Chains A and B, each alone.
Chain A
Amino acid sequence: QVQLVQSGAEVKKPGASVKVSCKASGYTFTGYYIHWVRQAPGQGLEWMGVINPSGGSTSYAQKFQGRVTMTRDTSTRTLYMELSSLRSEDTAVYYCARDHSYDFWGQGTLVTVSS
């Protein structure tokens, strides 16, 4: 069965970086794009960007350009989302989701940015 398993919660200080992982299983890894979506406490869903695991090409939301990097490791079937220059407003649950329809989601990773 399709599974996306994300890394555990993180606590970071302002200005630091965080790298969240998303390990895929149960399907052809290079056959489906992976999107990253975040949700601040009590807020809606926000699209951050997308990566093609086949070639590694990416597209990022303008809001995160220059601060976000999405990568993949085909040998371990793992996707990564790194966000730098963290500020308190980046406190959120970060999700990976499969395909342009987001048919399967990871369980979410809470990133807390606090001094």
Chain B
Amino acid sequence: SSELTQDPAVSVALGQTVRITCQGDSLRSYYASWYQQKPGQAPVLVIYLQNNRPSGIPDRFSGSSSGNTASLTIAGAQAEDEAVYYCNSRDISGNHWVFGGGTKVTVL
């Protein structure tokens, strides 16, 4: 399958930890990257190659993977973390890429 599946929405209390998952067959072979998108803005890379943070991304963001599931964890969620998060990886062929459907994170 070339699909990546994400839960549509999740909520987290301010300062608590939330984990967002991304499932797909290709994740057994390829790393996932994660993007944060706020309304009206271009996406921003927050995790690449499974668990690497670009410069400027807070260390409360981390990535992990097990089997066919990649995860993005926000430890100590802040109000500014409220956004839609997308996972991305190669598809099973390795020649194309695919995005998950996105998870809207609400910080309560």
A47's partner among B42, B43, B48, B99 (CB-CB below 8 A) is B99
B33 within 8 A of A: yes
A44's partner among B42, B45, B86 (CB-CB below 8 A) is B86
What's the dominant secondary structure at chain B's contact region? Answer: strand
- Asked if A45 meets B42 with Cβ closer than 8 Å, knowing A101-B48, A102-B88, A103-B54, the reply is no
- Asked if A108 meets B96 with Cβ closer than 8 Å, knowing A44-B86, A101-B48, the reply is no
Please list the residues of chain B having a beta carbon within 8 angstroms of any beta carbon in chain A: 33, 35, 37, 42-45, 48-49, 54, 84, 86, 88, 95-102
B96's partner among A59, A102, A107 (CB-CB below 8 A) is A59
A53 within 8 A of B: no
| Contact assessment for B49 and A101 in the assembled complex, using a CB-CB cutoff below 8 Å | yes
For the complex, what is the distance from the CA of A44 to the CA of B21, rounded to whole Å?
16
| Contact assessment for B49 and A45 in the assembled complex, using a CB-CB cutoff below 8 Å | no
Q: In the complex, which residues of chain B have a beta carbon less than 8 angstroms from the beta carbon of A47?
A: 88, 96-99
Q: How large is the interface on A (under 10, 10 to 19, 20 to 34, 35 or more residues)?
A: 20 to 34
Q: In the complex, which residues of chain A have a beta carbon less than 8 angstroms from the beta carbon of B54?
A: 103
